[in-house]
Chains A and B, each alone.
Chain A
Amino acid sequence: MSEALIQLQGIGKYFNNNKVVSDIDLSIEDGQIITLIGPNGAGKTTLVKLVLGLLEPDEGRVIRHSNLRIGYMPQKLHIDPTLPITLGRFLALAEPNTKLCIDALKEVGIEKHIHSPLQSLSGGEMQRALLARAILRKPNFLVLDEPVQGVDVAGQEELYKLIGQLRTRLPCGVLMVSHDLHLVMSATDEVVCLNQHICCHGRPDQVSNNPAFIELFGTKTATYTHHHDHEHGLHGEVVHSNDGDSSGCQHD
C-alpha cells in the first residue's frame, strides 16, 4: 500500500481557549475519496484549513507526503464587482499557459465562457471554474470545500461524476466537505462524520446506520437515509425474489 498523501495524528485546534476540533486521526491515500460531513459549527472548515496548512494545529501533527501537490477548491469567491476579470484571466493566475487553461475548461465543460467576466458566471459555472483552477495545479490531492454549493440537482450529479473521473485521471486523493450525506452517497469511498471530534466513519451505508450519525443529524436526515437504505434493501429483495423466480423457472 502506498504512503498516505496526508496524515493527521491526534490533531486539536483551539480558538480563544474554545475547543474547535480535537483528537482527529485521519489519513487520505491516493485515489481515495473521503467526504467530511457534520452540522454547522462542527469544525469542518477548521479541519480543512488544518489539512491545507492554512492553520497550524495546537495538538498533534500533520504529516504530508513529500510530493504532495494540493489543488484547493474554496467554498465561494467574493469578487468585488469593480474588478474587471475574465474567466480566462482568473485561470491564468494559476497557469500562464493558455492552452492548458483551455484544456482544463474543456474538462469541466465551460470553455465557452473563457472570455466572460468572472462575476457573470452562474453558481454551477463558478464551481466548475474553481474546479478547473484546482486541476491546473496538476494536484495529487484535491480539497473541495462544499463543491456543489449553489448547484442544481442535475448539476450536482454531474459535478460528482466529474470529481470521480478526476480521481482516476489525475490521479489524486480527494477530501470533500459536504452538508448532507445522501448527496454524496454514491460519490465517496469513505465518510467521516465530524462534530468537533470524529463521531463515526466508514463506508457511506455504514455511517448512515450508525447511531452517532443519526443522533447528530436528527430524525429528518436519518429518515431520509433510512429511506435510501430501504431502497437498497428493496433492490436486494427484488434481486432475491428474482432469483427465486428464476430458480422457480428452472424448476419448470
Chain B
Amino acid sequence: MMATRAGANMIEVLLYALLAGLGVAAITGPLGAFIVWRRMAYFGDTLAHSSLLGVALALLLSISPTLSVIATCLVLALILVMLQQQKGLASDTLLGILSHTSLAVSLVAMALMPDIKVDLLSLLFGDLLTVTGKDVVIIYAISLFAILLLLKLWKPLLAITIHEELAKVEGIPVTAVRTAFMLIIALVIAIAMKVVGVLLITALLVIPAATARRFANTPEQMAIFASLIGCSAVIIGLSCSWYLDTPVGPSIVLSAGILFLLSLTKKYN
C-alpha cells in the first residue's frame, strides 16, 4: 500500500516535472532565437542572475516569488537599457558588473535572514522535481501569455532586429516593442528558474536556438525547431536524471548541449 502510494506520487512528480519542463521549453525556443539574433545572450544571463534578487525580495516582503522575480527582472532590464545608452562603459562590462553584483547582493541578503531557510542549490540550478500542480498551472499561464505576446510582436521585433533605425523610420514604435520584449524575457526567466535555476537559464535560451539554426530556412522555422529541440532536451534530461540519479536542471542543459554537438555534423542551411 505504502509502496503503491509512493509509486503514484513518483509518477505525479515526474509528470509535473515533465509538463513544467515542456511548458518552459515551448517559449524558450522562440525567445532564445531572438536572444541569439540580437546577440543578447549576456544580457539574458545578467537578468537571470539578478532574478535571485527578486527571490530575496519576495522572502523579505513575504510576497509571491514569481511576481517578485518578474517585477525585479523588468525593472533591472529597463535600468540596463538606460545605462547602456549612456555609453560611459562598454556594454559587456556593465552587464558583468550588474550580473555579479546582483547575484552577490541576493546571496548576502538571504544569509542575513536567519529565520528563513533557503535551498540555494535549487535556486541556482533548478529543482524540477519539487514542482507542484499549482506551479504547472502558473508556468502554463505565463508561458502561453509570453508566446501570444511574442507572436503579436513577431514582425516588428524582426524588423527591429534587422535594422532598428530603418524600422523606426518605417513607423514601428521601437521603444514600446523593446519594452514588451523585456517583459517577455522577465516572464520567461521567472518560470525557467524552476526548471534549470538562475545560472542555467541562458543555456535553455541559447543552445536550442543555436542548434535549430542548422535546420532552418526562415526565422519561424528556427523558432519552432528551437522549441522542439528544447522539449527533447527536457525529456532526455529528465529521463537521465531518473535513471542515473543526476540533478535535473544540469541534465537538461547537458542534453541540449549534446544535441547541439550532434547538429554540428549537419551542414548549415
Contacts and interface: CB of A to CB of B under 8 A. Distances in A.
A154 B269 CA distance: 32
Nearest to A134: B166
A133 B166 CA distance: 10
Contacts, number: 56
Interface in A68-91: 70, 72, 74, 77, 79-80, 82-86, 89-90
Nearest to B218: A84
A234 interface: no
Contacts of A133: 166
Given A85-B219, A89-B218, A93-B155, A80 B166 contact: no
B37 A137 contact: no
Given A84-B269, A85-B219, A72 B37 contact: no
Contacts of A49: 165
Nearest to A73: B166
Interface size class of B (residues with CB under 8 A): 20 to 34
Interface stretch (B17-25, B104-112, B156-164, B232-240): B156-164
B219 A137 contact: no
Interface in A19-67: 49, 52-54
A82 B219 CA distance: 9
A85 B209 CA distance: 15
B269 A93 contact: no
11 contacts: A52-B169, A54-B168, A82-B36, A82-B209, A82-B222, A83-B162, A83-B219, A84-B222, A85-B162, A85-B218, A86-B217
Interface of B: 36-39, 155, 158-159, 161-163, 165-166, 168-170, 209-210, 213, 216-219, 221-222, 269
Given A84-B269, A94-B170, 20 more contacts: A52-B169, A54-B169, A70-B169, A72-B165, A72-B166, A72-B169, A74-B165, A74-B166, A80-B36, A80-B39, A82-B222, A83-B161, A84-B218, A84-B219, A85-B219, A86-B218, A89-B218, A93-B158, A93-B159, A133-B166
